[in-house]
């Protein structure tokens, strides 16, 4: 018995075969997933900027201050002004300002989950005409104690500059962080 051609065919004439449909569906799925992946990609700089923005907002409301008098060199007094902000029992930012001769130095340390994420060092003229006149500045961005980006502004290297930007800023941070913790503890017991 012979089956007519119109009945023997199990697919419609306009329906593509199985392999091209599978390929087409795979291509569409890959295109959609790669687009979604690139849009949700982790952008370290955006994350750090967001943390800094939130930290600065909190600092406007709850910043604390104390002063340290030190001796620099041969009996030269040095007065440091320390600012810090605590959120959920964690220090999220601290800043140290001091003046040597006609220059003012500012060190700012931003932290997230008790780790340094951004460190800013600026040297400005003390009582300069323009408030934001920076002679020299350096900004360091970190992720798990690894330097991600290092930016300098202003004139050449100064006393504040680092010769090894990967490790020297971290050493300075940990030294300052320990000093801050000791002084917070001393202030709490007084």
Domain range list for the chain: 5-39, 44-189
Please say whether the beta carbons of 95 and 109 come within 8 A. yes
User: pLDDT value at position 10?
Assistant: 53
Instruction: Give, in degrees to the nearest 5, the angle at Cα 110 between 106 and 112.
Output: 170
Tens of pLDDT along 80-114? Answer: 999 999 999 999 999 999 998 888 999 999 999 99
Provide the pLDDT confidence category of residue 24 given band limits of 50, 70 and 90.
low
- How many helices (H) and strands (E) would you count in the chain? 4, 7
Say yes or no to pLDDT of 42 above 70. no
Q: Do 112 and 98 contact (CB within 8 A), yes or no? A: no
pLDDT confidence of 22, banded at 50, 70, 90? low
- Nearest-CA neighbor of 141 among 42, 47, 41, 39? 47
Tell me the DSSP string of 1-67.
Answer: -PPPHHHH--S-TTSPPHHHHHHHHHHHHHHHHHHHHHHT---HHHHHHHHHHHHHHHHHHH-EEEE
Per residue in 125-148, pLDDT tens? 877 666 667 888 999 999 999 999
pTM: 0.73
Q: pLDDT at position 164, please?
A: 78
Look-up: residue for tokens 């440091």? 80
Q: Is pLDDT at 19 greater than 60 in this prediction? A: no
User: Which of 24-33, 96-105, 147-156, 159-168 has the least mean pLDDT?
Assistant: 24-33
């Amino acid at each position: 018995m012979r089956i007519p051609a119109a009945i023997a065919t199990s697919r419609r004439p306009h329906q593509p075969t199985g392999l091209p449909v599978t390929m087409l569906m795979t291509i569409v799925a890959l295109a959609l997933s790669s687009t979604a992946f690139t849009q949700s990609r982790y952008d370290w700089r955006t994350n750090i900027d967001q943390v800094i923005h939130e930290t600065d907002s909190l600092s406007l409301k709850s910043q604390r201050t104390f002063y340290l008098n030190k001796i620099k060199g041969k009996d030269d007094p040095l007065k440091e002004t320390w600012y810090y902000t605590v959120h959920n029992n964690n220090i999220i930012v601290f800043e140290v300002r001091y003046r040597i001769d006609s220059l003012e130095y500012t060190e700012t340390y931003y932290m997230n989950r008790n780790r340094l994420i951004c460190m800013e060092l600026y040297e400005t003229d003390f009582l300069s005409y323009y408030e934001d006149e920076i002679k020299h500045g350096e900004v360091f961005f970190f992720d798990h104690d690894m330097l991600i980006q290092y930016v300098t502004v202003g004139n050449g290297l100064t006393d504040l500059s680092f010769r090894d930007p990967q490790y020297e800023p971290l050493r300075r941070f940990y030294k300052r962080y320990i000093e801050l913790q000791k002084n917070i503890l001393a202030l709490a017991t007084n």
